[in-house]
Amino acid sequence: MILRACAVSNPFLRRLAHGAPLTAAECAALVGLTRSQRSVGPRRSLVVEAEPVPRGLVVLEGWACRSKVLRDGQRQITDLLLPGDIHLQHAGLSEHAGHALDTLSTCTIAEIDPGQLAALIERWPGVARALRWSSLQTESILREALTNNGRRSASRRLAHLICEILARLRAVGMVDDGGFAWPLTQDDLGDVTSMTSVHVNRMVKELRTAGLIVLARRRMTVLDAERLAASCDFRPEYLHLAPGRTAPAE
Amino acid sequence: MILRACAVSNPFLRRLAHGAPLTAAECAALVGLTRSQRSVGPRRSLVVEAEPVPRGLVVLEGWACRSKVLRDGQRQITDLLLPGDIHLQHAGLSEHAGHALDTLSTCTIAEIDPGQLAALIERWPGVARALRWSSLQTESILREALTNNGRRSASRRLAHLICEILARLRAVGMVDDGGFAWPLTQDDLGDVTSMTSVHVNRMVKELRTAGLIVLARRRMTVLDAERLAASCDFRPEYLHLAPGRTAPAE
DNA sequence: CGCTGTATTGACCTCCTTCAAATGCGGTGG
DNA sequence: CCACCGCATTTGAAGGAGGTCAATACAGCG
């Protein structure tokens, strides 16, 4: 069946399916929502902090991030957008986005028409539910990040981030035998985990020499997911993913 | 007019009015939503992390907080719930709350009936919009907290938190000439700002001797809001409050 | 093959934590 | 009113995790 095959390859559908069972019709409707796609190069700005969000978007391929910059130039990346993640425009709710949104790698971005989205939500209960779930997950990830950056040591913090990314990518089928594309520089990684890139480097080295990961040529491979998770007290419940789809083995 | 007077004294309505203009009928509907009230003592648990959220609630008086606890016992308070703040149950979306919810002071809590809420959202566009605004603000506050805790020095971090609380309390009319009730112990404050209570103490002292605040007997007074804000690069746009209601003078 | 951005490493420093003790304060019972 | 208790605050001294600065190595790319 075409829709089923589509659901498997489309990270947007795969992700939302963790939040609500979607009927074939709902899948088709969601696919229709992402018809308007464009490719965006790496390190491009999609949303500027002090301006209203133009419209919603879905990341279909590649990584992007939300970030804030202080007056002294320091940057904090508040959350990562991985394939399947949504950024909803808060239509008319505020003139101020509150954060920047930038691509990290080359991305395929779908623009979402607010009216069309509203119509889908009204018409399809599964879609409404899946979108509520999505925003629940986003908030939950933010709270975990706050805890992670605030309360864990640098090496655990990094390990925890890697575990989270592994789980999220696995949830959309982007992990191949523990390995996946890794577009983040060590500067980026420092801005996510609230450290300096120098210290990130030392922590990466630590995880490497512990035999937990391989990171080279923009590719990350998790060698021992279980030991990595145990080392940093990673418990994936906060991601609210459907069970069986976050475990190391499928 | 009764409703107007009610809107002034009810922090729930006052807060939501920042997100959307509410008609008299919508105000009345929202007041009806909070009919079932109860008083809860300080330091009581309202939601447990590993259990589903029983139902939504509104904080009408007092302060509460969402927090996460690591296995080693360290705690991170991820966000504060001040009068007027809402905690929506994610009805059936997950079996796992993802965080604890506890009172800090004695609180008046209104329980929200999910069905009644859904009916209101469907019926009243202003209510629907105000609630979307509320969740936008919650997310925005989380991102600012991540930036604050991750990138600002301890003293600025504390100053920024005080500025935020001042602005949020002012938005619901709970500030009297720069002063307001302050139920947080220095331990709590450490858990919010990701420091130890010992260091919190030193930073409080710094703000005190700088003539910026007075903190004694569970009451905080901001002596010079402008200088405090300038000292920590506090820019209130991220709170998405209606203009004119965050400024020091009314 | 040189250029540019990223990664790596070392030496030094500091902000914050840790540990421990003292002080203060609100409530309670005598 | 005072003695006492429990809890929060305050302060000091010492240590450590992570930051800063700067030099070097490396990889991709025209």
Q: How far is A239 from chain B (nearest CA, A)?
A: 9
DSSP H/E element including B76: strand B75-81
Taking residues A156-166, what's their average pLDDT?
98
pLDDT at B247: 54
A151 closest CB neighbour out of B70, B99, B136: B70
pLDDT digits (tens, 9 = 90+) for A69-89: 999 999 999 999 999 999 997
B230 contacts: CB under 8 Å, gap ≥ 6: none
* Spacing of B149 CA from C9 C1' in Å: 29
Taking residues B179-197, what's their average pLDDT?
98
Distance of CA A151 to the CA centre of its chain: 22
Q: Of A3-12, A228-237, B6-15, which one has max mean pLDDT?
A: A228-237
**Three-class SS of residue B61?**
strand
Of A231, A226, A212, A75, give the one whose Cα is nearest residue A157. Answer: A231
Interchain contact, A233 vs B19, CB within 8 Å: no
> Is the CB of B123 inside 8 Å of chain A's CB atoms?
no
What nucleotides of chain D have any atom within 7 angstroms of a protein Cβ?
Answer: 8-13, 17-22, 27-28
Task: Say whether the CB atom of B153 is under 7 angstroms from strand D.
Answer: no
Taking residues B100-114, what's their average pLDDT?
96
Q: How confident is the model at residue B90 (pLDDT cuts 50, 70, 90)?
A: confident
Of B199, B235, B194, B228, give the one whose Cα is nearest residue B211. Answer: B228
pLDDT at B249: 42
CB-CB contact of B68 with B76 (8 Å): yes
Say whether pLDDT at B244 is over 70: no
Residue in chain B nearest A94 by alpha carbon: B240
* Lowest mean pLDDT across A32-36, B126-130, B242-246: B242-246
What are A109's strand-pairing partners?
Answer: A38, A59
Say whether pLDDT at A93 is over 70: yes
Q: How far apart are CA A183 and CA A82, in angstroms?
A: 11
Burial of B100-109, coded b for 16+ CB within 10 Å and e otherwise, reads bbbbbbebbb
Q: How confident is the model at residue A54 (pLDDT cuts 50, 70, 90)?
A: confident
Taking residues A109-115, what's their average pLDDT?
94
A195 contacts: CB under 8 Å, gap ≥ 6: A154, A157, A203
B194 closest CB neighbour out of A74, A96, A150: A150
Question: What values do phi and psi take at B149, rounded to 5?
Answer: -70, -30
Taking residues B31-40, what's their average pLDDT?
96
| DSSP collapsed to 3 states, B29-48 | HHHHHCCCEEEECCCCEEEC
Q: How confident is the model at residue A129 (pLDDT cuts 50, 70, 90)?
A: very high
Taking residues A130-135, what's their average pLDDT?
96
> Helices B125-151 and B24-33, interaxial angle, to 10°?
70
∠B89-B90-B96 over CA atoms, to 5°?
95
Would you say the pTM of this structure is higher than 0.85? Answer: yes
**β-bridge pairing B86-87 and B56-61:** antiparallel
pLDDT, mean over chain A: 93
Interchain contact, A139 vs B138, CB within 8 Å: yes
Say whether pLDDT at B248 is over 80: no
* Spacing of B47 CA from D7 C1' in Å: 26
